[in-house]
Amino acid sequence: MRIVLGFASGLVFGLGLVVSGMADPAKVLNFLDLAGSWDPSLAFVMAGAVVVTFVGYRLAFARKAPLLMESFDVPRAKDIDLRLVGGAAMFGIGWGIGGFCPGPALTALPLLAPGTHVFVPAMLIGIWAGVRAREAFALSRIQKGA
Partner 1 sequence: MPLAETNFTPLASLLGGVLIGLSSVVLMLFFGRIAGIIGIAARALQAVAVPAQDWYWRIAFILGLLAAPMAAALVTGDPVEQTVSGNLPAMAVAGLLVGFGTALGSGCTSGHGVCGLARLSPRSLIAVLTFMAFGFATVFVVRHVIGGIA
Site for partner 1 in 41-100 (CB under 8 A): 41-42, 44-54, 56-57, 59-61, 63, 65-69, 71-75, 77-80, 83-100
Residues 117-146 that bind partner 1 (CB under 8 A): 118-131, 133-134, 137
Distinct helix (H) and strand (E) counts, the chain: 6, 0
Pick 52 or 139: Cβ nearer partner 1? 52
Contacts of 40 (CB under 8 A, 6+ apart): 31
**DSSP H or E segment with residue 140:** helix 114-144
- Are 42 and 31 in contact by the 8 Å Cβ rule? The answer is yes
Min dist. Cβ of residue 54 to partner 1 (A): 4
Min dist. Cβ of residue 145 to partner 1 (A): 22
Min dist. Cβ of residue 81 to partner 1 (A): 9
Pick 54 or 143: Cβ nearer partner 1? 54
List b or e across 85-96, with b for residues whose CB sees 16 or more CB atoms inside 10 angstroms: eeeeeeeeebbe
Residues 3-42 that bind partner 1 (CB under 8 A): 3-27, 29-30, 32-37, 39-42
Give the C-alpha separation, 42 to 23, whole Å. Answer: 11
Give the C-alpha separation, 88 to 70, whole Å. Answer: 31
Pick 90 or 139: Cβ nearer partner 1? 90
